[in-house]
């Protein structure tokens, strides 16, 4: 099982370490912790990460926006901003880079994980390709049931557990049970890792 590699660009070391601890405890892999713009700029070129968390202000300047623009131009990775800025000017500049999510500091652990899940869901929803149940089951040891496939399809569209339960006329607890079965069959530990694995299947088909 390959964990999702998260690039953390944050100029405050204590906050960066807190983020890293949170991600590691939730099944993610920290690809790199970077505090400075120049190092982050070079690291992005390596492509050795799956998703990025970008502080907008690095030092005294909003150079996280430049990093975001570079990632967006490459077009292969989702990213979300970590920022204490709520002013209209900064938000307008951030929107121009097309982030998948924008997380305000200070944030709670569950907000961080949710931001990553939303970032991944949004990114792959925009790039989604047709992946039938038969094609998917040819790539995993234990096949999904039709209902599990329905839940997976809804998840790829960015649906929450509650929305999935309403769409499929099942309880939220049943959705959670299906998700746990899907995680086990695809050998993943969370939604973000699941979406990345499904994307890797899509590229091979």
Q: Where in the chain are the domains?
A: 5-123, 133-204
Q: Domain spanning 5-123: which superfamily?
A: Response regulator (3.40.50.2300)
* Order of strands, sheet of 29-34, starting from the edge strand that comes earlier in the sequence: 29-34, 5-9, 51-55, 79-83, 101-104
pTM of the full predicted structure?
0.66
Instruction: Return d(Cα 2, Cα 102) in angstroms, integer.
Output: 26
List phi, psi (to 5°) of 19.
-60, -45
Instruction: Return d(Cα 82, Cα 108) in angstroms, integer.
Output: 12
At 103-113, the pLDDT tens digits run: 898 888 888 98
Centre a 10 Å sphere on the Cβ of residue 203 and count the other Cβ atoms it contains: 7
CATH of segment(s) 133-204: 1.10.10.10
| CA-based radius of gyration for the chain | 18
Q: Are 9 and 58 in contact (CB under 8 A)?
A: yes
Instruction: Return d(Cα 96, Cα 69) in angstroms, integer.
Output: 8
Q: Are 53 and 78 in contact (CB under 8 A)?
A: no
At 99-151, the pLDDT tens digits run: 888 989 888 888 898 888 777 766 666 655 567 899 889 888 999 999 999 99
At 60-88, the pLDDT tens digits run: 899 999 999 999 888 768 899 999 888 99
């Amino acid at each position: 099982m390959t964990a999702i590699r998260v690039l953390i660009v944050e100029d405050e070391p204590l906050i960066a370490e807190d983020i890293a601890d949170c991600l590691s405890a939730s099944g993610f892999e920290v690809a790199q912790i970077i505090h400075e713009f120049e190092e982050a700029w070079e690291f992005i070129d390596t492509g050795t990460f799956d998703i990025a968390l970008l502080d907008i202000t690095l030092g005294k300047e909003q150079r996280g926006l430049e990093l975001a623009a570079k990632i967006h131009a490459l077009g292969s990775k989702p990213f979300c901003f970590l920022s204490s800025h709520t002013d209209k000017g900064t938000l307008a500049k951030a929107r121009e880079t097309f982030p998948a999510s924008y997380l305000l500091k200070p944030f709670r652990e569950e907000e961080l994980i949710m931001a990553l899940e939303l970032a991944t869901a949004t990114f792959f929803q925009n790039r989604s390709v047709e992946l039938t149940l038969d094609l998917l089951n040819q790539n995993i040891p234990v096949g999904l049931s039709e209902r599990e496939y329905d839940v997976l399809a809804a998840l790829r569209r960015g649906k929450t557990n509650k929305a999935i339960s309403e769409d499929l006329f099942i309880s939220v607890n049943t959705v959670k049970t299906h998700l746990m079965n899907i995680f086990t069959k695809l050998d993943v530990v969370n939604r973000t890792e699941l979406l990345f694995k499904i994307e890797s299947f899509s590229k091979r088909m």
